[in-house]
Amino acid sequence: MRNYKIATLTIAGSDSSGGAGIQADLKTFSSIGTYGMSVITAITAQNTQGVFGVEELSQEIIKNQIEVVFDDIPPKAVKIGMVSSPEIILEIVKGLNKYNPEFVVVDPVMISKSGYSLLRPEAKENLIKYLIPKAYIVTPNIPEAEEIVEKEIKTLEDMKVAGNKILSMGPKYVLMKGGHLEGDAIDVLIGKDVFEIYKSERINRKNTHGTGCTLSSAITSYLALGNGIKESVRLSKEYITEAIKYSFDIGYGVGPVHHFYNFEKQEEAVCTH
Ligand SMILES: Nc1ncnc2c1ncn2[C@@H]1O[C@H](COP(=O)(O)OP(=O)(O)OP(=O)(O)O)[C@@H](O)[C@H]1O
Ligand SMILES: Cc1ncc(CO)c(N)n1
């Protein structure tokens, strides 16, 4: 059930072409039915063909955005995406410590689909040491997980081993995303007493710009709306699978996934005035 009085926040980078980053996150929040807000960490000049420039925002304005948002509309769940520098990571961790949101979803964004690095190499240490331990759930894809555990991942068994290693770094749950392997798209959820496999058929489409951002924002929304972790991931996997199925050609490169908007009657949305 949608509830526009439940706020969700994305702390991430802007994608000027609207397919990934902040823009994908806000589209997902709206489509699932939470009130979306944003703290922008960096601006990327990006389109379906690649990333052509990045400008990080200052620590001051990032801190300022976090404080004014939390002081006015405390989000129930927060998603963290592109956080490119060690200093930006520390600023965000300070904010999380100050406000203690119930759910923190960390998508450890490192490299864009087009191969552009969105995390400075020197930021990896802070990501692992300070941000991942704050996560309720962390959602690495295969290359990100390989970078975090410093080991190659080729099979489902490798995914389990790496997932457990990441779990030992402090988050409550790890969702290992298998989109980069061959065959079915298999994601694995690992927690202390949780082990779940989410499987969908691989959809043969080139337009997968923003899949990771969309999945982690969907999890953020479903958690905020009161679903448990397994149900949140199940619903999010369903969301991303449909979004990829109906992705479309726009631009000359890797197009975006499609966000569905179900404009139900006003009275069906929970939104008391
Ligand atoms: N071709 C596909 N068909 C079906 N599901 C897919 C496909 N590609 C990815 N997925 C699913 O999409 C979700 C995102 O996974 P993926 O591994 O693509 O994330 P990502 O690499 O972080 O994305 P991004 O490049 O946007 O950061 C996962 O649930 C994955 O299983
Ligand atoms: C700003 C931004 N965040 C995340 C991604 C995901 O790769 C991207 N392409 N751009």
**Prediction pTM value:** 0.96
**Hey, whose CA ends up nearest to atom 24 of ligand 1?**
212
ipTM above 0.85, yes or no: yes
Segments making up each domain of the chain, as ranges: 7-261
- Pocket test of ligand 2: the residue of 113, 118, 139 to mutate, having most ligand atoms within 8 Å of its CB, is 118
Determine the 3-state secondary structure of 190 from DSSP.
strand
- Mean pLDDT per segment of 10 residues, for the chain of length 273 residues? 92 98 98 97 97 97 98 98 97 98 97 88 96 98 96 96 98 96 95 96 92 98 98 98 94 95 63 55
Ligand at shortest distance from the CA of 116: 2
Q: Rounded to the nearest whole angstrom, what is the distance from the C-alpha of residue 39 to the centroid of ligand 2?
A: 14
Q: Which CATH superfamily is domain 7-261 in?
A: Ribokinase (3.40.1190.20)
Q: Are 175 and 212 in contact (CB under 8 A)?
A: no
Q: Order of strands across the sheet with 50-56?
A: 50-56, 35-47, 7-15, 77-80, 103-106, 137-138, 173-176, 185-191, 194-200
Residue 177 near residue 109 (C-beta atoms within 8 A): no
The predicted pLDDT at position 55 comes to 97
Q: CA-CA distance, 195 to 256, in Å (whole number)?
A: 30
Q: Which atom of ligand 2 is nearest to the CA of 22?
A: 1
Tell the residue nearest (CA) to atom 6 of ligand 2. Answer: 112
- Atom 10 in ligand 2: which residue has the minimum CA distance? 21
Please give the distance, rounded to the nearest whole angstrom, from the Cα atom of residue 200 to the centre of ligand 2. Answer: 23
Handedness of CA 128, 217, 178, 168 (dihedral sign): positive
The ligand 2 site (C-beta within 6 Å) comprises: 12-13, 15, 20-21, 44, 46, 81-82, 109, 112-113, 118, 212-213
